[in-house]
Amino acid sequence: MSEMFLFHRHSIIKCLGDGLDVVLPEDIDCMDSSAFEGVKLKSLTIPAKLINALSIKSPPPPICISWLNCETLIFENGIQDLTGIEFVGAHIGKVVLPNGLKKIGPLLFVNGKGTIREFIMPDSVTEIGNAFNDVTFGEFHFSKNLKKTSTVSFSECTFSDLIVDTIQKKLENSAFHSCRAKNVVLADSIESIGRHAFAMFQCDTIQLPKRLKTIHSRAFMESNIREIILPESVIAVDKEAFIYCESERIVLSPNLKKIQPRIFYGCSNLKELIIPEGVESINLSAISECPRLKKLTLPSTLKEILYFGTEYISAVEEIINFSQLTITTALFPRLKILKNMN
């Protein structure tokens, strides 16, 4: 296959296999990053010997392939750690990963607004590094045995449907920062959503895990998700979890005890909020700067409303009050309708 490449010593300068099935030489040291630019391949096969040699070097100097255009990208069997090769701005029909692959390392498919029509992880994969950035996926399947994803695993990526079917318990910080998807389904094994995990995320619907317990600070910051329904399993939502979120409706878990400061601060489209039974404390900064939030329901379990100054004045005009607390216009200066249900 050496006749398909122009070499300088052990470095590839140019691929000459336009329209063909090409195997990357296993003994190369490096290549010109634009070696595949302007070439459209039927397939490109990456030898196991090449990847295994790169992955044991510390740090592994990546071979960078820019603007690859091929129908099928094949990684040979025998690779356990996919590290040391980087594809920038690739346009690929199908990625074939080897059986027995355990780790997908950092900087695999990055930048350049790449596209991958089909990417299916074998179930042997247990760990993903910061492997994807600015890639549009058609069909994407996670390994069911995935235990760990690094911070910023899929920054700025686009999915048709995002189905995270794994056994991992925590969705790491910034995992899907600035991503887009039509629909999102998260595995029930996930118990914690990390900081910024869905910050600036855009989707129509999101199905949260039935075992979810904790949503960390700014997990949904500036996200654009029409409706978010927290499962009953959620017992803690950190401060600013939904700050500047553009959701129209957010349904809280009945097992929350406290509404933390600035949870819904700046949620410009939020129209109604029902504080569920069980909540004992609410900080009014939680609903500050929500110009469309006109209706608020307070539970019978509410024991205190915390208020620290005029900067937390809310737009609420109607309150349905099941608590024993006295509600006044000092707390809600725009209040027009008060229904005391106690």
* Sheet hosting strand 11-15, strand order edge to edge: 5-8, 11-15, 30-31
Print the SS3 string covering the chain.
CHHHEEEECCEEEEECCCCCEEECCCCCCEECCCCCCCCEEEEEEECHHHHHHHHCCCCCCCEEEECCEEEEEEECCCCCEECCEEEECCEEEEEECCCCCCEECCCCEEEEEEEEEEEECCCCCCEECCCEEEEEEEEEECCCCCCEECCCCEECCEEEEEEECCCCCEECCCCCCCCEEEEEEECCCCCEECCCCCCCCEECEEECCCCCCEECCCCCCCCEECEEECCCCCCEECCCCCCCCCCCEEECCCCCCEECCCCCCCCCCCCEEECCCCCCEEEHHHHCCCCCCCEEEECCCCCEEECCCHHHCCCCCEEEECCCCCCCCCCCCCCCEEEECC
Average pLDDT over residues 70-95: 94
> Do 163 and 139 form a contact (C-beta atoms < 8 A)?
no
What distance in Å separates the CA atoms of residue 146 and residue 190, rounded to the nearest whole number? 11
> Do 136 and 157 form a contact (C-beta atoms < 8 A)?
yes
Instruction: Tell me the one-letter amino acid at 153.
Output: S
164, 212, 246, 314 from 199: Cα distances, Å = 17, 18, 11, 24
Convert the pLDDT of each residue in 128-178 to its tens digit: 988 999 999 998 989 999 988 877 789 899 998 898 988 989 999 999 999
What distance in Å separates the CA atoms of residue 76 and residue 315, rounded to the nearest whole number? 60
Residues whose CB is less than 8 angstroms from the CB of residue 269 and which lie 6 or more positions away in sequence, other chains included: 246, 247, 248, 292
pTM (predicted TM-score): 0.88
23, 140, 179 from 110: Cα distances, Å = 22, 16, 14
> Do 48 and 15 form a contact (C-beta atoms < 8 A)?
no
Tokens of 102: 């355990």
At 59, the pLDDT band (50, 70, 90 cuts) reads: low
Convert the pLDDT of each residue in 243-298 to its tens digit: 999 998 899 999 999 999 999 999 999 999 999 999 999 988 999 899 999 999 99
| Largest separation between any pair of C-alpha atoms in the chain | 85
Least confident of 100-114, 199-213, 270-284: 100-114
Average pLDDT over residues 200-219: 96
What distance in Å separates the CA atoms of residue 22 and residue 300, rounded to the nearest whole number? 69
Average pLDDT over residues 170-187: 93
